[in-house]
Structure 1
Amino acid sequence: MRRFPLAIAILLSLTAAALAQPPTTALVIVEGLTWQQVERGEIGGLYVLSQYGATGLMSIGASGNDAASRFALTLQTGRRLVLPREGTVEAVRRRYPKVRWLTDELARAGVTVTLHLETSQQQVRALLAPSFSPPSPSAQLQIWWIAGEPATISRALERAISPLNPERDRLLIIGLPPAGERLAPVIAAGGELRTGVLTSQTTRTEGLVSDVDIAPTLLRWHGLGPHVGEHPMRVVAQEPLVTVKHLARLSRWNAQGLIPLGALQVGGGLLAVLAALQLIRQRRVPQRASLVLSVAIGTLLSLPAGTVIAPYLPAGRFAQYAAHVLLSAWGLSLLAHWGAWHEPFRAYVRACALSVLVVVVDAVSGQHGVQSSVYSAYALSGIRFYGIGNEMMGVLVGCALAWGLFGLKATWRAVVWFISALVLATPVWGANLGGLLTAATGLGCTWEWSRKRRMPRPQRCAQWLLMGMLAAFGMMWVDSLSASPSHIGETWLRWQAEGFTAIVDTLLSKLALMSRVLLSPFAWGVLLVIGVALWAMGRSGTLTAWRNGWRGEYLPWLVCMGAAFVFNDSGFVPAAAILGVGVGALLTRRLQEVQHGSSA
């Protein structure tokens, strides 16, 4: 009986000591961890945590040999910055003098940062280590960096998690996926966090967050406010495994289908060009052959719209998903040919109109289709997760140009082009200022040409460009005043906060992205195919003889292509889309003229 009061005293003292300990946040980065491993329960208790915690997928911008260092830099700065060649902390601070340092901010707030890294991760340790320690710590952040086989990872996770108090402490587990994957699992648990799926203002997509959201989340958890343009993760009450599984499956299907679908569109387009030229050379086009070729061209044109429709349709396998894309495109082509079976050009213009309607309607109703499209692939790029990307922007501008020029009178042409520019510019719909400048310059100059049927003066095109730039800056300013600005408004706020350095950094990042696109093998492959198609059309006389040599008809397409290339960071993509739509319009019109024996 004498020991009983002593045991109670010891228990009370241990409880008081535990309560006196500062709250702990454990950030665990696991190299090579994929969502499939979590879903199958291959590593420790991650499956249980994913069921009872907050779960999502995280877009990781880092890839390649220096993925770990770049991810550590994003964790520290809350931005996807280019790691200087030296790779040192001093070089990073010199290059980005106004970028905040996460561990230093936490240390100033009284948070002790402890690193648990392997000895081989010296550069990562240097990037993550705080420059000083707080004199009187009120909380602690433990950063664990784990790599190895599943069994090794399980043991390391147990060491990181076992000391935590689920009522007081928080846990954030992030996978650093292997090469070739850009989506990683992320699990948050403990404290006041409830069961659900993770999201953020960065992505505006339930179940999806970005690596730039880690730093503001840790700041918020420790009572600090995020900086301009930063958004902490938040939990949405949803079924975690169902939502994340669907998102992971759709992203995986998009990754699997991007190259085959792109090859089908590019290769099929080249075959269609050669087949159409062969029929045009014969000066006699059989109706059946013309119909088959016209439907095929309409299907190729409608493939981007088909990728917007397919995510709305239920699919359990990749084959079903791919079939939905192809059948949707084929259905749009057949719908465009309804009542115009032997008029290829008229059907082509209708197909352009249907593509415009599909993209615009989806944009103003939440962008689920554009967001999940194979060609948009926001979850794979990790740059932006809402609005209309440059891929669909090129399709929208090109199809709106064809529909307005060849299918509408002046008043309705102006309405369609204005709506296209408005949808692209509005942050809640398109959030694409490059698309706004493309539409303002390209469609504006085309409007001048369509009124007088002669080449507009450069001063008029410059005026349209100036109006587009003023509208873009005005849109950025208005968006910056909203309660939840998009990346457009946040860019304006960052320019205001950081000045000229932020503007230069934005321009350099755009140029870097453009250079990566131009140096990609896919880009040069598309250029090769386009070059072969134009060469074949030139040899056949189509380019020089169409409309009695009136080359002014090509001007609208050239202006829109040039505007798309100049005003977008991956400008090759929308420029190629506009060129493809223009070549299709040229061929189908010439095909219809030859088939009917007169001018269409």
Structure 2
Amino acid sequence: MTRTRAVLLLGLFAAGLAFAWSALSSVDAQSPVKHRQVLVFIEDRVSFDELMAGADSRRVAHAGGVALMTTQAGSGPGARYSAIGQGSISGARGEPFITRILRAHSVQMCSLMRDSRVGEAIFGPLPSCSTTSLDRAHDGVVVVDLSSVTSTAALRRDYADTAAQLMQGNVDVPPGDRRVRALVIAPSTSPEMDAIGDKVTPLLMVDGPRPIRPGPAGSLTSDTTREDGVVANVDVAPTILDFFDIPVPKEMTGHPIRQDDPTDVRHLHQLHLDQRRIRLPIQLGEVAFVAALGIVGIAALILLAVQGRVPGGFGREVRFLALYGAALPIPLMAGGLLPRLTYPVVVPFLVLSVAALAEVAVAARWPGAMGPFRFVGAVGLAFVVVDSLFGWRGARIPLIGGTMFDGVRFYGLPNAFIALLLASALFVAVGLEPFAGFLLLLGTGLFAGFPQLGANVGAAATLFVAAGLWWTLRTRPRFGPREVAFVAGTFALGLAAVLLANRYLPGAPTHITGFVERTGGAGGVWETLRGRLAVGFGQIGHVPAAAIPVIGLLVVLFLVAVRPEPFRAGLEIAGDPWPAALVVLTVAGVAAFFLNDTGVAAAGPVFLYAMTALTFPTLLVERRT
């Protein structure tokens, strides 16, 4: 044992004895809890494996629980630390929100091991525990910052077990008039973690008094993530406030952490590491496939325009490639259900599932030239609905990226799959009467935005635009001011229904609930929408390549509107509703770019659908001639 560790153990053990003596000095079997203490151990850059390597940590995890903590935060130095103290990633400056609130409620705070600046970055400057008395007349928070003595992996493992021993010493005590909550948090990742793509850190929590015994680890969760074994860094501050029965202010976006049903957190961590390992190659493979599809498709269309036909069976193969492209997003989402995310599992799954889905779509022989696309749309819509009913299991770790471990979206419909829901609903609506198709798109928009379902306001808004536009194009001979007003009204009424549902329906609050509460009325909602539009234009200004999906969608819209040959003949083969579906798809795709905070992720896949949905019927011209 090092000298530093010995001094730390002695000091903290003395502090723990002081707490215990304070509690035991007035034990009364009938007396209510008189005061509460929170112990926060900060072990910066410790990994999940390092923390759980110690037997003492595993015992504490059995008595309480452990979770993977996402470290997503705003920009700027120290953002990961301030997100914990502020309870949000707003980037607010000044004294941490948690410290201000605790002081306002007469909760004392002090710090041990203050050589490191990490504790100060989270909670602000705190007095030393050696000069601050935390007696039984006051609630208190003790911050134990171990970051200055955990510079290597070996030291991190050593001190993780030390912290667990100290947690046991303060929790495994006889019942009295004192309650304690002990947490171990790791605000940021280490260089070793960064090297393997590990972006989540461990969080250990236990409440006492209670006995600490060996056994399987429990798990933690929160209403922020709704996932057993996963919490967010913005949940730490609300968890401390909740322990003192202090209401969590609406400015905090996190929610209190709680114990939940046991889950295999180690397996979750392995899935995270698997996904980070294959993420970039898989994404590059997806981009290469889409690029190859575009190149081959353009070549086939040029040959068709110049020669009036495509040589041999080339046209048939390109049509199948287009169908493969339309089928691709479904396995990308379903891949989140795989037991492991390794190359031997993921690559065969993607190749075989895309090919099988396309082959079955053709073999199903749905009526009409675009029957295969309608079949793919029905499968896609059904899969999204079923996945939502089982808690969005596939969408939480999709192969396309943007997993729950990234800390952006933990539940509901991810922005990357707005296109899947939009295109699937449109392809199904093609086979319905105009009013039935309108109701389908409207209902899909409500599904996308309602709590406990999609919980995605940007997706809902996109689908409301599509619903209004679909009805006008299917039922009106021209598109004028009245039609524009109808589309705008559908958008406004649908969006209002989604916002009200998230605000007032029972159940766990969603991020849309917080959005409605913080915006403060219709004016605030409008300002937020304006802000999203500004983000969309800002994406193009800062990264001009972000405009490629929007430009591609506008090109498809132009081709559908002008209908030069051979596209005119292809759209005639597709049938009357198909051009309207392409117009709705492209316009809604452009709207998705500006209505969502990650516009490229929302609009990019829409372009894939639009490109394949235009190419497929055009190449049927070659078969007819």
TM over 0.5: yes
Secondary structure at the counterpart of residue 385 of structure 2 = helix
1:280 paired residue number: 304
1:115–1:125 contact (8 Å) kept in structure 2: no
2:68–2:269 contact (8 Å) kept in structure 1: no
Worse-superposed segment, 299-308 or 478-487:
478-487
The separation in 1 between residues aligned to 2:593 and 2:419, in whole angstroms, is 10
Which of 344, 347, 350 does residue 372 from structure 2 map onto? 347
Q: Percent identity?
A: 21
1:206 counterpart = 2:217: no
1:27–1:172 contact (8 Å) kept in structure 2: yes
1:65 is displaced (CA, Å) by 6.4
1:81 counterpart = 2:90: yes
1:28 counterpart = 2:47: no
Secondary structure at the counterpart of residue 344 of structure 2 = helix
Which of 380, 384, 398 does residue 359 from structure 1 map onto? 384
Which of 102, 109, 114 does residue 105 from structure 2 map onto? 109
1:35-79 per-residue CA deviation (whole Å, 9 max, x = no partner) reads 34446x3x785455555541111111137762xx21222222211
1:263 counterpart = 2:287: yes
1:177 alignment partner AA: T
2:585–2:606 contact (8 Å) kept in structure 1: yes
2:609 alignment partner AA: V
1:570 counterpart = 2:598: yes
The separation in 2 between residues aligned to 1:13 and 1:312, in whole angstroms, is 50
Q: Mark the CA change 1:253 to 1:502 in structure 2 (over 3 Å): closer, same or farther.
A: farther
2:202 paired residue number: 185
* Alignment map for 1:504-543 (pairs within 5 Å): 510=532, 514=536, 518=540, 524=545, 527=548
Q: How many residues align?
A: 561
Q: Mark the CA change 1:295 to 1:404 in structure 2 (over 3 Å): closer, same or farther.
A: same
1:170-200 per-residue CA deviation (whole Å, 9 max, x = no partner) reads 3322232245543222222352689511111
The separation in 2 between residues aligned to 1:152 and 1:516, in whole angstroms, is 44
1:586 paired residue number: 614
Q: Mark the CA change 1:586 to 1:365 in structure 2 (over 3 Å): closer, same or farther.
A: same
1:290 paired residue number: 315
1:216 counterpart = 2:241: no
2:171 paired residue number: 166
1:507 is displaced (CA, Å) by 5.7
The separation in 2 between residues aligned to 1:449 and 1:26, in whole angstroms, is 62
1:199 alignment partner AA: T
2:125 paired residue number: 129
1:80 alignment partner AA: I
Q: What is the TM-score of this pair, normalised by structure 1?
A: 0.80
1:436 is displaced (CA, Å) by 1.9
1:548-582 per-residue CA deviation (whole Å, 9 max, x = no partner) reads 79998664344212321232222233222222211
1:248 paired residue number: 272
Q: Mark the CA change 1:470 to 1:306 in structure 2 (over 3 Å): closer, same or farther.
A: same
Q: Mark the CA change 1:154 to 1:546 in structure 2 (over 3 Å): closer, same or farther.
A: closer
Q: Mark the CA change 1:378 to 1:461 in structure 2 (over 3 Å): closer, same or farther.
A: farther
1:393 paired residue number: 418
2:437 alignment partner AA: R
1:445 is displaced (CA, Å) by 1.3
1:107–1:130 contact (8 Å) kept in structure 2: no
Q: Mark the CA change 1:241 to 1:397 in structure 2 (over 3 Å): closer, same or farther.
A: closer
1:503 is displaced (CA, Å) by 5.8
Q: Mark the CA change 1:470 to 1:532 in structure 2 (over 3 Å): closer, same or farther.
A: closer
Gaps of 5+ in 1: 1-11, 91-99
1:255–1:380 contact (8 Å) kept in structure 2: no
Secondary structure at the counterpart of residue 148 of structure 1 = coil
* Alignment map for 1:374-413 (pairs within 5 Å): 374-375=399-400, 377-405=402-430, 407-413=431-437
Secondary structure at the counterpart of residue 43 of structure 2 = strand
2:445 alignment partner AA: A
2:571–2:617 contact (8 Å) kept in structure 1: no
The separation in 2 between residues aligned to 1:280 and 1:163, in whole angstroms, is 75
The separation in 2 between residues aligned to 1:81 and 1:342, in whole angstroms, is 52
Q: Mark the CA change 1:59 to 1:514 in structure 2 (over 3 Å): closer, same or farther.
A: farther
Worse-superposed segment, 73-82 or 353-362:
353-362
1:246 is displaced (CA, Å) by 5.5
The separation in 2 between residues aligned to 1:161 and 1:532, in whole angstroms, is 56
1:8 paired residue number: none
Q: Mark the CA change 1:276 to 1:532 in structure 2 (over 3 Å): closer, same or farther.
A: farther
Q: Mark the CA change 1:283 to 1:192 in structure 2 (over 3 Å): closer, same or farther.
A: farther
1:153 paired residue number: 156
2:374–2:428 contact (8 Å) kept in structure 1: yes
2:624 paired residue number: 596
Worse-superposed segment, 70-79 or 279-288:
279-288
1:445–1:456 contact (8 Å) kept in structure 2: no
* Alignment map for 1:382-461 (pairs within 5 Å): 382-405=407-430, 407-452=431-476, 454-461=477-484
1:267 is displaced (CA, Å) by 2.2
* Alignment map for 1:459-470 (pairs within 5 Å): 459-470=482-493
Q: What is the TM-score of this pair, normalised by structure 2?
A: 0.77
1:55 paired residue number: 66
Q: Mark the CA change 1:356 to 1:138 in structure 2 (over 3 Å): closer, same or farther.
A: closer
1:336 is displaced (CA, Å) by 0.9
1:299 paired residue number: 324
